[in-house]
Structure 1
Amino acid sequence: MTIIIISFVLGFISTKIFIGFFKGMLTQAGIVRQNYMGIMIPVGMGLVFLPYIIMNACIADYFHDEKVVPYYILGVIAMSLAGVVDDLVGDRSSSGFKGHFKALFKGTLTTGAFKALFGGAVAFLISLSFTKEIFEIILNTLLIALATNFFNLLDLRPGRALKIYTVSCIPVLIFSSEVSRLLLGGMLSSALAYFWDDIKARTMMGDSGSNVLGASIGIIAAYEFGIWTKIAILAALILVHAVSEKYSITKIIESNRLLNYIDKLGR
């Protein structure tokens, strides 16, 4: 437990230090995008999570010689880099799985289709490390892939994805092993360190950040939970994705007084 606390504190402090450097790097490189208020701000700030993710994986690997550690770090970094592609050259002319794959079938590879295909392949590779049972491989693959994309769907307003991530991490941390608590706890500390910049719309973490949130919690859930718990989580993720194909998540939140209050809290 002591090493988990130390890791959490280190993650928060180090990420706070990294934020200024990454913000300056992205601004100087002209990697900016108009946010929902029409203000140009740095995008791709999710890269700020990567330094401590690697540092924390080193700590986890030193204290816990478990197979999940290298696959966790592989999955999170790979998903983040897939998000970088969308942050840099993303085309917003297509949206949703339906839109991206419709374009693909017409011979056009969108960044969204690339993320889905690449993310699915990464999720499949990680699933193979947990089990050789066909059903569970498929289950883990879908859970990791959809969890990753779930936070993409949420990251349309400042602080929204990070609020849901923080709440979602709590039960996963409670019911996980020590190595998973160390890995996910370190990621959570980085997310909390970045939270203020995000909710005040000073920067956008972009897909390079939201992918990290989803992949980190998806991989740990796939590794730690039993079949029925994973089926329940996957069913919820499928439902959210199905709804998002027809309706705006933002409009659904804004139409509910309580959800809208929570969503705007802190902005």
Structure 2
Amino acid sequence: MLYFVLILAGFAGTRILTPYFKDMICESGMVRKNYKEDPIPVSMGMSFLPLMLVNCAIILYFEKYEFVGTYMFAVMAMSFAGIIDDTMGNRSSSGFKGHFKALFKGKLTTGAFKALFGGLVALFASIPISTGVLDMIINTLLIALFTNFFNLMDLRPGRAIKVYFTSCAAVFPFIPNDIRLLAVGSISSVMGYFPEDIKARAMMGDAGSNVLGVSIGMLVALGLGGGAKMGALIFLVLVHLIAEKYSITKMIEGNRLLDYVDKIGR
């Protein structure tokens, strides 16, 4: 019954609120050209937050799980960092190397702020859910790198959310029931927004991709064992190393299967 309530609240609530967020963002002038040069509202990922907060409140009321507050703090803090980058960022520097190279020269980019702030959020969220120093380090890296991983994925309509759904499906069978409730509470809200993203009617921006990343990072940190965590961490490190040298989009477009899946629904 609780699963049904979370799904209904997250999906229906986000579908209802999305047009209001679009109007608010457009009226504020937060419109940016997408990869097709069409002007659309950006930072729409903030529309995930109200119903994710509602669903976490429902879980906390009925189950009293201590980690729910930590989870929601991490989600909201990472979304805040994404909103800063969406609203104030410029694209003169890109990638970890570019942002930190600028920082060493005395220039703080929004990308560097997002990386540093995101790392601190990941550390803060990891402390109460870790069993020791090594586990805390691994959890911190997982949360931080998953967050940036979804930034890398969010370059075409629907891509990051497809990867998010796939990631949730991959971890869902292996995490405890209490952690599954968190996943359902988040997935339902993202599903409510998904039609806007896949049809390129709105851009969730880092405000949204950060939410997807930190959500998966927290699920993995909370629900999986040490071996699975290390496997995920190795995967993330490899992806980030590749992304510093090559275009993820070009790699996807160069693979028939990945390109086909990437374009479904557009």
Give how far 1:266 is off: 0.9
Matches within 5 A, 1:224-243: 224-243=223-242
Residue 158 of structure 2 corresponds to: 159
Residue 130 of structure 1 corresponds to: 129
Hey, what's the Cα distance between the residues in 2 that align with 1:132 and 1:186?
25
Give how far 1:181 is off: 1.3
Q: Secondary structure at the match of 1:94?
A: coil
Matches within 5 A, 1:3-42: 3-42=2-41
Residue 74 of structure 1 corresponds to: 73
Q: Secondary structure at the match of 1:71?
A: helix
Q: Secondary structure at the match of 1:12?
A: helix
- What one-letter code is carried by the residue in structure 1 that aligns with 2:137? I
Matches within 5 A, 1:216-231: 216-231=215-230
Residue 108 of structure 1 corresponds to: 107
Give how far 1:175 is off: 1.8
Q: Deviations over 1:95-135 (max 9, x none)?
A: 00000000000000111110110000010011111125111
Q: Secondary structure at the match of 1:253?
A: helix
Residue 54 of structure 2 corresponds to: 55
Identity %: 55
Matches within 5 A, 1:123-202: 123-202=122-201
For structure 1, the residue ranges without an aligned partner over 5 or more in a row are: none
User: TM-score of the superposition, structure 1-length normalised?
Assistant: 0.98
- What one-letter code is carried by the residue in structure 2 that aligns with 1:113? A
- What one-letter code is carried by the residue in structure 1 that aligns with 2:177? E
Give how far 1:172 is off: 2.0
Give how far 1:186 is off: 1.4
For structure 2, the residue ranges without an aligned partner over 5 or more in a row are: none
Hey, what's the Cα distance between the residues in 1 that align with 2:56 and 2:104?
39
Hey, what's the Cα distance between the residues in 2 that align with 1:68 and 1:149?
22
Hey, what's the Cα distance between the residues in 1 that align with 2:175 and 2:254?
35
Give how far 1:5 is off: 2.1
Flag as ranges the 4+ runs of structure 1 deviating above 6 A. Answer: none
- Note if contact 2:130-2:139 (Cα within 8 Å) is conserved in structure 1: no
User: TM-score of the superposition, structure 2-length normalised?
Assistant: 0.98
- What one-letter code is carried by the residue in structure 2 that aligns with 1:120? G
Hey, what's the Cα distance between the residues in 1 that align with 2:60 and 2:184?
15
Residue 244 of structure 1 corresponds to: 243
Q: Secondary structure at the match of 1:109?
A: coil
- Note if contact 2:81-2:207 (Cα within 8 Å) is conserved in structure 1: yes
Residue 266 of structure 1 corresponds to: 265
Residue 118 of structure 1 corresponds to: 117
Q: Secondary structure at the match of 2:32?
A: strand
Q: Secondary structure at the match of 1:33?
A: strand
Hey, what's the Cα distance between the residues in 2 that align with 1:107 and 1:188?
40
Hey, what's the Cα distance between the residues in 1 that align with 2:52 and 2:265?
26
- Note if contact 1:96-1:245 (Cα within 8 Å) is conserved in structure 2: yes
Count residues in correspondence.
266
Hey, what's the Cα distance between the residues in 2 that align with 1:126 and 1:239?
24
Out of 2-11 and 97-106, give the one that drifted further.
2-11
